[in-house]
Structure formats: C-alpha cells, structure tokens
Structure 1
C-alpha cells in the first residue's frame, strides 16, 4: 500500500528540516498491527527487521501484553514467519520489572498475572508474597480470580502500592473482545479509591526503559506504531520520531482528532525499509 497523499499544509514530517535532525540509529516497533496481524506477518515486516540487522541498528519489538515471556513471544513470532530473538522483545512486564528495580530494588509484591510478568519480576529479584507486600502488581491474565482480586483490594487498603502493567481495557480473541488489565484495574480502583500507576504504553517510561536497554538516545531513535493513543503518544512524549502505519487499528481520518502528530504516516511497515537503508 502506498503512503497516503496529504495536503501540503498537512505534512507528515516534523517541523525541523530533515537535514537538521540527527540520524536515526535505533528503532522501536510495536508488534500487533505493525509486524503481525491475526498471527500472520504483515507485508514487509521481515524485510524491515532484516534491514535493521544489516545496518547494525539496535532495535526492540514492543508489546503491552504481559502474559507471555520473551521466549514465548519469540516462538510465537517465528510461527507467524518472523525471526525476532527474545532479547529484542520488550514487554510491559519487562518495563514494569525495570521500573521497580529503579524504584525499590529486590522488594516484595503480590502479583496477579501470568508467566511473562512473574518471570520478569523474579529476574528483578522480587519476592512474590501475599503477606504485607510493598506492591500489588496487576498484569494481564486469562484467568482473573475473584479471590485474588479481593486479596489485592485488601492489601492496597492496607497500604500496598498499586502498579499495573498497562492501561489497555480490552483485547482481541478468537471468540471476541476480552477484558484486559485496564478493566480489572478499574474495578480495583473503584473498590479501593486508589488509582494504579500504569507502566506500559502510553507511559513514556516503557519507551525510555527500552532505550536504556539497547543503549540508545531518544533524539536519535524512532518509534513505529499503529495506534495514536498508545504507540505514537508514548513516542512523542519520550522525544522520539514517530511513524504511524495504517495496517492496524488507526485510519488516516482518525489522526486529525489528536492534538499531536506522528513524524510520518505510512501504509505499512514495508514503506519504512528505505528510511532504514538511508540512515548511517
């Protein structure tokens, strides 16, 4: 799909001339709607990743999903036709573990979530407990348990700090829409009067922690996403050049409703290969 043609006064590039911008030396890319859709690689996705490897550019593939471990996601992407090493994957669970390592190293937490979240927290030296934890950490799971949610509410009422991996209120499944982390967080917030701190997109904390992981700086990094309200917002707030692709959940007409703009708008990830090849 070719890039959409926009009016001259509706340019999709940043206000600074391109020759005044530092070269992009690192890339962050959202996963669903950008590289894959419905468990199939999108056109140009592997070629984009290959171009990054060829150019020796550090990159991360991002997802707000905290269910799966990096190894699981790498295997799932491989089944979709994409080769992404697990060390190139950055989830909201990874970002939450990195955030907590800075805030309160090797502390304690009561966790509602699955292997992606518990593995990341164990790797950060956290102890999982339901007895006077410093944090209650909510992640995504397919088996939310009423007793676990009740325990989380009582621990928060008792003084535990409330963290959630991401604010997404729903997610897709083969059977239809599913409640996600944000929906359950809203229930706990309503019961306790305590709002969670969301680490995942659109919080730029997730982006900055990812940049730290690959040793990149925001002014020389780019973010690719398919959602204005998560990917592009997070990239803009973190100071990256943002590229919106129209292969996921956002249409060109919807862009106008937002007070911020992406650096570039493209039909799909394949249209960014030339940008990668032109850098450095």
Structure 2
C-alpha cells in the first residue's frame, strides 16, 4: 500500500504501509519532526508512524484545499493524520473496517471527505471527523475511485466489490452497475468519464461510463493501476504494476510513433490525416535546404 502526499502543501512525500503496523513516510524536504505518533531523528528523511494494528489502506488528499492529510485505515478504525503538524485530525471506530480509502468531493456535498469502503458499507468523514455520508452496497468493498462519470462537473463514487460488480453512486443513489468476471481489486480515474480497473484474475481494462473501452488479461496479477500521460500527447495512459515485478503502460489502440530522447523523455506522435501528408512533406523538404 503506497500513496504520495504533499503534506506541507508543496513537496511530495512517499508514504508506505508496512506489515508490522507502521506507516513509513519518506519526506526529504522536511526533516527533524518529533513527538506525537512519529518516530524520527534529526538527520533522517524517513519517519515511522506507529499504528499498532494491521494497516488495510492508506490515502493522501486535501480536506482544506491547502495541504494534504494522511488517512490510514485498519479493520477497526480510521485515522486522519496531519503529517505537517504531527497531530491527529480525527480517530474513529469503523465497525465495518476500512478496506479502501479515497479523499475528495462527492456530488453536491460541499465539503471534501475521507470516503471509506468497508464490509458492505460506504462512509464519508469531513475534516472535523463528522460522519456526513453513509450508504450500503452489495458486498465487501475492494476498491474506490472518484470519477466525473456523467461528465457534468461533479464526482460520482465508483465502487468495486467482491461480488464482481462495479457500482456507480451519485451520493447514495446507484446510477450504473457493471458486472465483471472477478473481484475488482483496483480502480483509478483517467480522463473525462473514463476509469481504469483491475480484477483478481489478472484482467485490466478501461470503462468509458458504463461501456467497456478495452481490456486485456495476464497470467500475472495486477497489484496496482494508475493513470498518467506518460508520452505527453494530452491523453492519460493506464499504468499497471504486476506481481512479477514489471510495470507497463497501455495506449487506446491507435498506432503511434514513440521516441525516447537521450535525457529519458518519452514522446508519442499520432499519424497525420491523409490530407495533411503532402503539407508535412513540403515542410520537411523546406527545412533541409
């Protein structure tokens, strides 16, 4: 479990959960924090946050529009932690556990929330720790993502469950439901109304609203997915980390010219339409003389 947060509002810090009930925060830009839950020394870049329970989920995000906070879930509690000030925002009991967490705005609810997926339940807490959103879903929640599913400028909550279903919530109302072939282990927003998904059987793919855009299946398991415009063409690609240690990124099926510079920069170029080819040839010849 890994997340990246700008806890001071400026510099990214890598955050990972360990199997020993600790959370590791690598923040080389801010050193020497002491006290509270954090164990550190003056010259260390790495802080350890003692949870003393098995961590089931971590997520970084902003609740105040400024700096990010760190949300840590276990099977019994949720902790919202202000890393920059080394203090708890809130600590709540979660009877249904916190299998996954996402932070952001949902629908017409004004306040950003820490949204938690548990055993058949969804909960949302504001920065004061008030429970301002709650609903139920069909099975244990495996993954969450906030997506502008209807392309109307508001986020809907996409929920992946153990019963092989992807459900889309407009606040507490289900507006779409798609059935897959295995439990949905990961979800990530991409661009517009598209989102990526990964299944427990090694399948990864992309939906555009409720229509499957593409999918592939591997003999390896997809441990994590993320969207990023890796080739600077203005379209986000789906980045997948696999159980065999490899990572790949996938385009939308259109052939492209891929170039790698000596500095490691990757660029992609779409083929030009037929009516432009003559103009491009003239431009290239002109540049040679």
Greater RCO structure (CA 8 Å; 6+ sep): 1
TM score, norm. by length of structure 1: 0.28
Which structure would you say has the larger Rg? 2
Q: Which structure shows the bigger proportion of residues in strand conformation?
A: 2
Q: Which structure shows the bigger proportion of residues in helix conformation?
A: 1
